[in-house]
């Protein structure tokens, strides 16, 4: 278990140097949110949630991607990163798991940077499907065919929007963008990519269905390949929480201070997460937790508390919708106990 407070370290260093500390933190991030819970509260509630759920073994690893079936299902890690760059982590924090569908959020963010919200909305849309994340029936039935950027069909269409002279240039741009959101260089987990590329016929079928409806904007198989790579990017829980904290911090990475996403794009990304971040589990999630979040079949979930920070949990056992069971339970517990639920007036200070 580890708690780091960069601000204190900087202040102490400045005091030791005998400097006047007037605005010690301005270079590192924003001031603490006036309505965010205090760091001791965060630490104690997250630690309790970790202890309550650590021996829960419900759910099972994804197995339609062979690599994921053999990941140690007992791994369990939690990270919280605040918009003022306080970090709290517990459990398995070193393991790099594949980001999987959580990547969809950040490719959407990149598409918004490049095309702006109107054109992305026109080309992809933003309606829930009420069906599994990889449903071909949804592609046929939904009036937009693409549905939204967070189900596979809409995500592949979103990936196809990213500009570049060739597939490598597009892929490198996506990876560099994710790395900026995480505040450090991320890379592809080659074994995951190979395992998924050998078994992604369903996604290829979706891309060709989209072609039939003229709802894919580059070569279908090239787009699926880039999408498969983006899903195979490795992150540990802290990196994932930092990516979420960049969204919570209005697009500025709270660790590096770099602007990654235009502030005006943040509401579109968070609303897409609220509406479809946990697929056909999204309604129940909104009801119980009230936070924009995104899951991946690698076992990660990241939830965003706008203006306050983000929580990421990794645990590979999934429910039937493809969402990590333990991650959902931990985030629900934390959201309830720290008044994070956005639909609670207490979350913005009304007591």
Residues that bind ligand GLN (CB under 6 A): 100-101, 133-134, 152, 196, 203, 231, 296-297, 322
What are the residues facing 311 on neighbouring strands?
Answer: 80, 303
Q: Report DSSP letters for 77-124, one per residue.
A: EEEEEETT-EEEEEE--S--EE-GGGHHHHHHHHHHHHH-HHHHHHHT
Least distance between ligand GLN and beta carbon 100 (Å): 3
Helix then strand count (H, E) for the chain reads 15, 9
Q: Which residue is nearest to ligand GLN (CB)?
A: 101
Q: How far apart are the first and last CA of the chain?
A: 32
Least distance between ligand GLN and beta carbon 98 (Å): 8
**Closer residue to ligand GLN (CB): 134 or 347:** 134
Q: Report DSSP letters for 184-207, one per residue.
A: S--EE-HHHHHHHHTS-HHHHHHH
**Closer residue to ligand GLN (CB): 231 or 255:** 231
Least distance between ligand GLN and beta carbon 51 (Å): 28
**Closer residue to ligand GLN (CB): 116 or 202:** 202
Handedness of CA 276, 279, 283, 288 (dihedral sign): negative
Least distance between ligand GLN and beta carbon 23 (Å): 42
- Alpha carbon 79 to chain centroid, angstroms: 13
**Closer residue to ligand GLN (CB): 29 or 296:** 296
Least distance between ligand GLN and beta carbon 195 (Å): 10
- CA proximity to 227, closest of 66, 127, 99, 319: 99
**Closer residue to ligand GLN (CB): 152 or 249:** 152
């Amino acid at each position: 278990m580890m708690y780091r407070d960069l601000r204190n370290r900087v202040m102490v260093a400045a005091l030791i140097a005998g400097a006047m500390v007037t605005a010690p933190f301005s270079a590192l991030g924003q001031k603490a949110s006036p309505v965010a819970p205090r760091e001791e509260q965060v630490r104690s509630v997250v630690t309790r949630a970790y202890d309550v759920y650590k021996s829960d073994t419900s759910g099972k690893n994804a197995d339609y991607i062979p690599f994921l079936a053999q990941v140690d299902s007992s791994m369990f890690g939690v990270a919280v990163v605040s918009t003022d760059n306080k970090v709290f982590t517990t459990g398995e924090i070193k393991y790099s798991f594949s980001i999987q569908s959580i990547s969809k959020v950040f490719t959407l963010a990149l598409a918004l940077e490049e095309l702006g919200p109107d054109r992305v909305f026109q080309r992809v849309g933003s309606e829930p499907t009420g069906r599994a994340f990889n449903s071909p029936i949804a592609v046929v039935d939904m009036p937009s065919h693409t549905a939204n950027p967070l189900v596979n069909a809409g995500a592949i269409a979103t990936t196809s929007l990213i500009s570049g002279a060739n597939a490598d240039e597009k892929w490198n741009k996506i990876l560099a963008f994710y790395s900026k959101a995480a505040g450090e260089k991320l890379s592809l987990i080659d074994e995951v990519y190979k395992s998924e590329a050998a078994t992604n016929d369903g996604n290829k079928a979706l891309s060709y269905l989209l072609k039939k409806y003229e709802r894919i904007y580059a070569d279908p198989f090239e787009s699926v390949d880039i999408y498969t790579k983006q899903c195979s990017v490795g992150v540990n829980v802290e990196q994932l929480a930092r990516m979420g904290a960049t969204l919570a911090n209005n697009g500025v990475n709270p660790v590096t201070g770099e602007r990654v996403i235009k502030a005006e794009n943040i509401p579109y990304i968070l609303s897409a997460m609220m509406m479809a971040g946990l697929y056909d589990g999204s309604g129940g999630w909104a009801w119980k937790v009230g936070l924009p979040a995104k899951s991946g079949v690698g076992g990660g979930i990241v939830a965003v508390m706008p203006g306050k920070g983000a929580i990421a949990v990794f645990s590979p056992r999934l429910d039937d919708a493809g969402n990590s069971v333990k991650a959902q339970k931990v985030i629900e517990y934390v959201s309830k106990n720290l008044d994070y639920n956005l639909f609670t007036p207490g979350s913005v200070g009304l007591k």
